[in-house]
Amino acid sequence: MNRQFVLLALGLILTIPVFQSPIFSEQFRPLQGLHVVKSLPLNMVAGSTYGWEVSFKNPKSEEGLMNVTLEVTEKKTVVGFGEFHVEGTLESYDNPPREHHTLPLTFMETSGGTFQSQALISERFNIIKLEISSVPNLMPGEYTFTLTITIQYKSGQQTQFKETS
Amino acid sequence: MQRKKMLIVGLAIALLIGVVSAATISYFGQVKMTATVKQAVLLDGKDVTEMPTIEETETVAGGEFFLRSHWLQSQTSVPVDLKFETYIPGDSAGITVSYLKSTGYKTTVTTSGTYPINVTVEDIGDWIQWTFNFFACNTTPVTGGGHFAGAVIISFDGVKPAFQIYDNDGTCAAFPWGTWLYSPYDLTGGGWHGWHTSEAAWNTPVANIWWIQAEGARDFSDNPGGKFIVKIHKTMLDATFYWAVYANQYGFYNPNNGDSCYPSNFQWGSETFVQATILEEITSPFTLYPGEVLPFYIKYKFAVNIQPGTYTIYSTVKPAS
């Protein structure tokens, strides 16, 4: 009887990590609430500034460390350092909205075309607003913009969202 | 006892896996799109992938100059600082390349003479246009059977005429009256004070010349507004050149024949001219503003004593910083 109880407990404990693996998470727990509020245009002009807005829910509605990474790549050329410039803000609120917070996001270019920013979030609803500009002499081409949002909680659980435009 | 230990170890491993798993990714999603980024500034409507440089090849004997027109267009929302760069393979001595833009030249003058008229000279893009307004100063023609005659005379040094564009008023019998003709000046070839307008071989209908346009009928019955328009393509002029006009009205007034000209001391055989600066140098670096379209000209000037031959010159437009 005691042995059966132990085996049952063992089974339950093992179930948790199995279903928390990325494979099962991807299949069974899609990104709830993550969507593009304002899309980047399909046709852009070098030198101009374009807005990109993404909304998502804080899955645990508790304080977490958000990492935002924007990667810009091009099919035929290597994106150089300083060719793009990114500014951003984070707007957060709860439902019902009690207070609306706006926080500037400072993006650092860690390598050519890769920008990173960090911020603490705690509200349920969050909107990241990006202003992406490039140098006027940017090589024309087809560019891919990949936005990755990662949230790290104090408990150690991590949640990742990924948007590519 | 041994089995109990194994159970405890098993539980400990399971707990460890659980704790570690708590740090794995829980949610994942991806959406893909591609954005096409166009070049901020186009050169002659093309980006760097289509035409990286302007290539100009000329065969010269020495002393020539050539003007070539191009244009820049800003597609971006921010001002862009640009500069021109020139590359001449081999010996570049004796070759001067300059980059020019329009001065927006425009002037209206009144001719001097028996029956003055107004002539407006203006930059209309790729062309410089002369508009003769025969009734600007005399508004009451006494008869409907009158005729108009006119000429634009061009000089490149302000002293010696280069050519004239005129409405044939019987000067050259080889062409119908009223035909617009081009006739060059050549003092060494005889003629009348260097002009050969009466000789068929020295006249070319402007309809056969791409860089000249002229319109306006000779007869009042076909031209009741009394207007002549003559256009010369800028590339066949120079940044600074000289011009004069001559006009005649016949059969309108009493007395029925009246000449007029500008400048006032202009005379056939001892021509005088007015200076016109239609292009000025673009100082690099320069700023192209959002949405701006900038027509510009490249002037290739070859020294008189340059080695005769064929030269190729490359020009590029680059960001200033």
Same domain, B259 and B303: no
Lowest mean pLDDT among A118-122, B46-50, B272-276: B46-50
pLDDT of residue B25: 45
Higher pLDDT, B158 or B1: B158
Residues of chain B neighbouring A16 (CB-CB closer than 8 A): 18, 21
Q: What is the mean pLDDT of residues A130-143?
A: 91
Binning pLDDT at 50, 70 and 90, where does residue A10 land? Answer: low
Sheet of A125-134: strand order equals: A35-38, A49-57, A125-134, A84-93, A101-106
Percentage of chain A lying above the pLDDT 70 cut: 72
pLDDT of residue B53: 85
Both tokens assigned to A114? 């890769």
Kind of pairing, strands B180-184 and B204-205?
A: antiparallel
Same domain, B284 and B166: no
Put simply, whether B181 touches A (Cβ < 8 Å) is no
**Length of chain B (residues):** 321
pLDDT surpasses 80 at B10:
no
Range of the structural domain that residue B224 is part of? 106-277
CATH number for the domain harbouring residue B54:
2.60.120
**Rounded-to-integer distance, Cα B62 and Cα B56, Å:** 16
Averaged pLDDT score across all residues of chain B: 88
Same domain, B296 and B244: no
- CATH fold label, A31-164: Immunoglobulin-like (2.60.40)
pLDDT of residue B26: 46
**Total domains present in chain B:** 2
pLDDT of residue B148: 93
Contact A164 B30 (CB under 8 A): yes
pLDDT of residue B17: 52
Same domain, B97 and B122: no
- How would you classify residue A98: left for phi > 0, otherwise alpha for psi between -120 and 50, otherwise beta? alpha
Work out how many CB contacts closer than 8 A connect A with B.
163
Site from A18, A60, A79, A137 to mutate, B interface, most B CB atoms within 10 angstroms: A137
Calculate how close chain B gets to A23, using CA atoms only, in Å.
9
Q: Indicate whether B15 belongs to any domain.
A: no
Please name which of B80, B63, B14 lies closest in space to residue A9, comparing C-alpha atoms: B14
User: Helices (H), strands (E): how many in chain A?
Assistant: 2, 11
Same domain, B125 and B167: yes
pLDDT surpasses 50 at B63:
yes
Contact A162 B27 (CB under 8 A): no
Same domain, B202 and B267: yes
Q: Which residues contact B144 (CB under 8 A, 6 or more apart)?
A: B220, B221
**Nearest by CB: A140 against B22, B23, B38:** B38
Contact B27 A160 (CB under 8 A): yes
Both tokens assigned to A77? 């050329």
**Domains in chain A: boundaries:** 1-30, 31-164
Binning pLDDT at 50, 70 and 90, where does residue A34 land? Answer: confident
Same domain, B161 and B64: no
Percentage of chain B lying above the pLDDT 70 cut: 87
Higher pLDDT, A159 or B66: B66
pLDDT surpasses 90 at A42:
yes
Residues of chain B neighbouring A138 (CB-CB closer than 8 A): 37, 39-40
Higher pLDDT, A82 or A16: A82
Contact B25 A42 (CB under 8 A): no
Q: Please, which residues 58-117 of chain A have a Cβ atom closer than 8 Å to chain B?
A: 59
pLDDT of residue B320: 83
Q: What is the mean pLDDT of residues A81-109?
A: 90
pLDDT in tens, B222-267: 998 999 999 999 999 999 999 999 999 888 877 778 889 999 999 9
Binning pLDDT at 50, 70 and 90, where does residue A8 land? Answer: low
Same domain, B79 and B138: no
Residues of chain A neighbouring B49 (CB-CB closer than 8 A): 139-140
SS3 of residue B17 by DSSP: helix
Contact B40 A17 (CB under 8 A): no
Same domain, B137 and B266: yes
Q: Indicate whether B24 belongs to any domain.
A: no
Q: What is the mean pLDDT of residues A55-77?
A: 87
Same domain, B94 and B120: no
pLDDT in tens, B170-207: 999 999 999 999 999 998 888 899 999 999 999 999 99
Put simply, whether A155 touches B (Cβ < 8 Å) is yes
Same domain, B136 and B227: yes
Put simply, whether B18 touches A (Cβ < 8 Å) is yes
Contact B38 A137 (CB under 8 A): no
Put simply, whether B21 touches A (Cβ < 8 Å) is yes
Model-level pTM greater than 0.90? Answer: no
Contact A137 B24 (CB under 8 A): no
Contact B36 A30 (CB under 8 A): no
**Rounded-to-integer distance, Cα A135 and Cα A109, Å:** 14
Q: What is the mean pLDDT of residues A19-36?
A: 57
pLDDT surpasses 80 at A15:
no
Binning pLDDT at 50, 70 and 90, where does residue A95 land? Answer: confident
Contact B30 A163 (CB under 8 A): yes
Same domain, B175 and B230: yes
Q: Indicate whether B255 belongs to any domain.
A: yes
